[in-house]
């Protein structure tokens, strides 16, 4: 009988990529819209926090489409425990906040 392989340990980079995918996929399931990008990601004491950008209303020209930023909170297992829309803006808008 062959010895069991040790469980793979995720390197810090792998954990961040895994958290980004997890946040995006679970938010898409809840909203029914695919995320455009993850614009921020940081570890938290009890998991991860991400900011995910989502196309909410497609318009022509594309620069007038309505986008939204969502703050997503994941627990240590990668399960979404909270999300909230923090901002709505047009795709072509430049963020002028300091």
Q: Following DSSP, what letter does each residue of 35-82 receive, concatenated?
A: EEEEEEEEEETTEEEEEEEEEEE--SSGGG-EEEEEEEEEETTS-EEE
CA distance linking residue 75 with residue 48, whole number of Å: 6
Task: Note the pLDDT of residue 96.
Answer: 75
Distance of CA 35 to the CA centre of its chain: 8
CA distance linking residue 28 with residue 50, whole number of Å: 14
Task: Note the pLDDT of residue 50.
Answer: 98
CA distance linking residue 17 with residue 76, whole number of Å: 14
Block means of pLDDT (10 residues each) for the chain, length 98 residues? 50 80 97 96 95 96 95 96 97 78
């Amino acid at each position: 009988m062959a010895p069991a392989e040790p469980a793979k340990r995720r390197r810090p980079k792998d954990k961040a990529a895994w958290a980004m995918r997890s946040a995006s996929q679970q938010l898409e399931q809840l909203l029914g819209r695919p995320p455009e990008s993850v614009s921020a990601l940081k570890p938290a004491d009890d998991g991860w926090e991400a900011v995910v950008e989502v196309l909410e209303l497609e318009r022509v020209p594309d620069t007038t489409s309505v986008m939204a930023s969502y703050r997503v909170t994941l627990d240590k297992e990668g399960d979404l425990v909270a999300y909230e829309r923090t901002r709505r803006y047009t795709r072509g808008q430049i963020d002028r906040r300091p």
